[in-house]
Amino acid sequence: MAKLILALAALCLASSPANAFAPNAALLTLSDHATSSPVALGMAADENVSKRKRALKTLAKTAGVLATAAFATAGLPPAAIAAKKVKEVVEVVETVDNTNKILAAGAGVVAAGAAAMKLASGGGGMAQNFLEAEPYWDQSTVPVNVYKNKAPFTGKVVSTKRIVGPKATGETCHIVIDHKGDFPYWEGQSWGVIPPGTREKDGKPHAVRLYSIASSRYGDDMTGNTGSLCVRRATYWCPELKADDPAKKGICSNFLCDTNPGDEVVMTGPAGKVMLMPEEDPSTNYIMVATGTGIAPFRGFVRRLFFEDTPAANAYKGQAWLFLGVANSDALLYDDEFQEAKSKFPDNFRLDYALSREQENKKGGKMYIQDKVEEYADEIFDKLNGGAHIYFCGLKGMMPGIQDMLAGVCKEKGLDYDEFIKGLKKAKQWHVEVY
């Protein structure tokens, strides 16, 4: 930070109208000091220009560091933008003498630096409140189907990253897409993706595929300009070939998992309101049940409630309980984030995994998601009776096992299963999105 201050001081001095290397100041010096040597004046001017260049270079480097720090650290969109703008301004200043831009650049770096230092010292970052409804829990303005098949939106890929280990069953990628703030959405909604190309059978464009959005409305970088998808590459193992059959691979999932930064993605939506969180009552308990990439909307929930400085997070006093079912430890998704939330908010966030190839259920069989939920049946039913909302997301094949388990628990408790589920739906406590 000391280098930053020195750079700014040098720039301010260099930009002063009375400074010797400003053109009008140089003329004044020449007329007022006729005995001065032109060579000496030239040397002084060169020295000042050199100092100015060094100051600009320091400013540019500092801006770059702060931009990187701000983008890498949650909660600093204004600081990140300020630092980025500084770098742009410095490039202009190096070719055009513009005092106002120099001073504006300095102010931007100071703002970014102060915010970064505040966060580093534990003082917190900038609040995420610029995409909130008024009041924040009001769902009357939730965007739905803003972009449609005939008039889609084109986003650009920021990054595509494999997020499972080598022993995972299949490949799952986290894909960040830049929408420049023109494609707003809420946690729990989905984006439609139209893969490039046409169908072989009739030459028509491919149909839209829906993917649950895996980030909060502010995006992973907290700027409100990006959104993320969690996509598993769909492949088909051919027993005859004893290999994946490329002719039967998932067109859209493979397109997304193969994208590179800068690639365009044609999108529709945002779709759906069934998975939204009812935030009006901050003491609401959430029970989230996911298999595989069905974790996507719940990552958005967890980030909104525990990682961001949102009105929802500041008000939340309930408990969010996440169940995730995958094959093995290498297939766990976003585990580092969930473990952090659990560590920081042990009273408000619970986490349970069902690892079918590593754990056994109470009957000695494989541990599937319904088995893990059943272990806590009494607690879960108590929460539901108290107004908790329960969410399910993942492959549609998860639901029969879930429903059979719940029916069995209802029977043990002397409840009519159909009436129990009907009551949850009527109270809008039952949320299902399977594919």
Indicate the SS3 state at residue 130. Answer: coil
Tokens for 342, please give them. Answer: 């659990």
Pairing of strands 153-162, 320-326: unpaired
What does residue 295 show for φ and ψ, rounded to 5 degrees?
Answer: -70, -20
374 has catalytic annotation: no
367 touches 201 (CB < 8 A): no
DSSP code for 233: P
212 has catalytic annotation: yes
What does residue 101 show for φ and ψ, rounded to 5 degrees?
Answer: -70, -35
Query: Which of 293, 347, 354, 294 has the alpha carbon at shortest distance from 319?
Result: 347
- From 230, 252, 257, 393, the catalytic residue: 393
334 has catalytic annotation: no
433 has catalytic annotation: yes
326 touches 292 (CB < 8 A): yes
**What string of H, E and C letters represents the secondary structure of 79-102?**
HHHHHHHHHHHHHHHCCCCCHHHH
435 has catalytic annotation: yes
- From 147, 185, 211, 368, the catalytic residue: 211
**Secondary structure (DSSP) of 172-183:** EEEEEEE-TTSS
CA dihedral 166, 171, 174, 178 (to 10 degrees): 130
What does residue 240 show for φ and ψ, rounded to 5 degrees?
Answer: -75, -45
**Number of helices and strands in the chain (H, E):** 13, 13
- From 212, 228, 253, 356, the catalytic residue: 212
Please give the positions annotated as active site. 211-212, 393, 433, 435
